[in-house]
Amino acid sequence: MQNTSGVVLVLSGPSGAGKSSLIKEVSADIGDFYFSISTTTRPMREGEIEGVHYHFVSEEEFKKEIENDNFLEYAVVHGNYYGTSLKPVRDALHQGKLVIFDIDVQGNTAVKNRLGDITTSVFITTPSLSELKKRLKSRATDSQEIIDKRMKMAVREVQRISEYDYLIINDKLDEAAKRLKLIVQFAKLKISSENINEFVQKWEVT
């Protein structure tokens, strides 16, 4: 039985673990996919592009989407709304695409609650906390205060690895990429309960 609809791949892990680098490394080898982009009410920053970095909307539009239950998950951060819109995700799934989420552990729970039967989850991290600290410092993009916050968050996130289907320790990028490509192949074999029910009904009458 072939899967004709799309599937979901959730990637989580501490900031600095290399999730973006991994996605870039495997993107040419995993077929057609849609990378889920968050929607936000915060103003667009210099260099950002609509539909690439975020979907930028007004607070009024965002609240209307909340009322219509069109968000997989959302939160208010520093006075601005951020959320994952279900519409482009559903469109991509109907087109048979792999939908990739780069979200935190709370987001993983939300995805599982709504799309669990077609979801594969992967936690990506460094070999150790000290290695994560080294990577965050070498990026030279955050203040020490931000790095300290990211480290504390990482410790909390790692405690929830057991909630994920797979763990990738991103020590060597090429080895981690090989593992991720293999996981994608398995993820694409998942079949939704709707498709299974359709198969069972056809099987019983033929």
Structure confidence by residue, pLDDT tens digits, 60-93: 999 999 999 999 888 887 789 999 989 889 999 9
Query: What is the token pair recorded at 130?
Result: 């000290």
Chain length of the chain: 206
> What is the predicted pLDDT for the residue at 4?
63
pTM: 0.86
pLDDT surpassing 80 at residue 1 = no
Q: Domain 1-32+98-206 is classified in which CATH homologous superfamily?
A: P-loop containing nucleotide triphosphate hydrolases (3.40.50.300)
CA–CA dist 154, 129 (Å, integer): 8
The tens digit of pLDDT for each residue in 124-169 reads: 999 999 999 999 988 877 788 888 988 999 999 999 999 999 999 9
CA–CA dist 97, 46 (Å, integer): 31
pLDDT surpassing 80 at residue 111 = yes
CATH 3.30.63.10 correct for 37-95: yes
